[in-house]
Chain A
Amino acid sequence: MNALRRNVLKSAAGAGTVAVAVAAGLLKPTMALAGAPRTAFEAKTVGDALKSMGASGAADSKDITIKAPDIAENGAVVPVEVTSGIAGTTAIAIVAEKNATPLVADFDLTNGAQGFISTRIKMGQTSLIRAVVTAGGKTYTSAKEVKVTIGGCGG
């Protein structure tokens, strides 16, 4: 029973990868500018995700503010707002540490865009939300825990 479930999940993941690869092929012109490579979105652990973003050694920073609820009743919609007070912020990435795909999104900011991003994410379970900020070629990070009552990733 469990083995079967594993196989189903595996094949689904395979199909997903192909679709992503196709999309990445179509997206080449814009992808060149994106901060995190598409592979970072396929990482299954926080460590791998940070590594493929080149943010393994990110320094903790108090200048990053993450605004998110302490307790999210519905994991399918968790509002998250990241403000970076670090001068010269060029990118902000949002990572939900215990999600199946930890890297949720990354945002490259150019031409006067401020160190601010507001969005809504899904969370599978209670976990840390980590913001990774790139400024002046260096990476900085900060995290905030959000407790999730009902997960929003599975069915």
Chain B
Amino acid sequence: MAEPMRIRATMAGDVADVKVLMNHTMETGVRKDAKTGQLIPAHYITDVTASINGAKVLDAGMSGGISKNPYLGFKVKGPKAGDKVVVNWVDNKGDKNTAEATIG
């Protein structure tokens, strides 16, 4: 379910280096439960968006091919220290989570 997401954003010159760690099982839907032999239903993040000071910088689509507890790193030119980064994700069951951080 919706557990905390961690964001770290730092300025390196004129580029903001943003690192996001999401908490999610990222089940592909093809794995079987070792005990029952039943397929574990697919449950993974399908969409991630990130914005800085309200302007969208990243719009990502994902499949179950992203590792458990997804890590995402990206770089954005333009922002200043103190600007606000907001990251949202939605998964295939409609669960969603949002987190924000200040660029340091």
Residues in A lying within 8 Å of B, measured CB to CB: 8-9, 12-13, 15-16, 19-20, 22-24, 26-27, 30-31, 33-36, 38, 41, 76-78, 81, 96, 99-101, 103-114, 116-122, 152-155
Contact = CB atoms under 8 A, between A and B. Distances in A.
B61 A106 contact: yes
Given A23-B90, A23-B93, A76-B67, A112 B30 contact: no
A155 B92 contact: no
Interface in B45-82: 46-47, 49, 52, 55-68, 70-79
Contacts of B58: 107-110, 113
7 contacts: A12-B29, A100-B30, A101-B28, A104-B65, A111-B57, A122-B26, A122-B67
A143 to B, nearest CB: 16
Interface of B: 15, 19, 26, 28-34, 39-42, 46-47, 49, 52, 55-68, 70-79, 90-94
Contacts, number: 160
Contacts of B57: 109-113
Contact of B30 (A12, A36, A96): A12
B86 to A, nearest CB: 13
A150 B61 CA distance: 26
Nearest to A123: B65
B74 A117 contact: yes
A116 B94 contact: no
Nearest to B31: A155
A108 B62 CA distance: 12
Contact of B32 (A33, A96, A108, A155): A155
A113 B62 contact: no
B77 to A, nearest CB: 4
Contact of A119 (B47, B52, B72, B94): B72
A111 B78 contact: yes
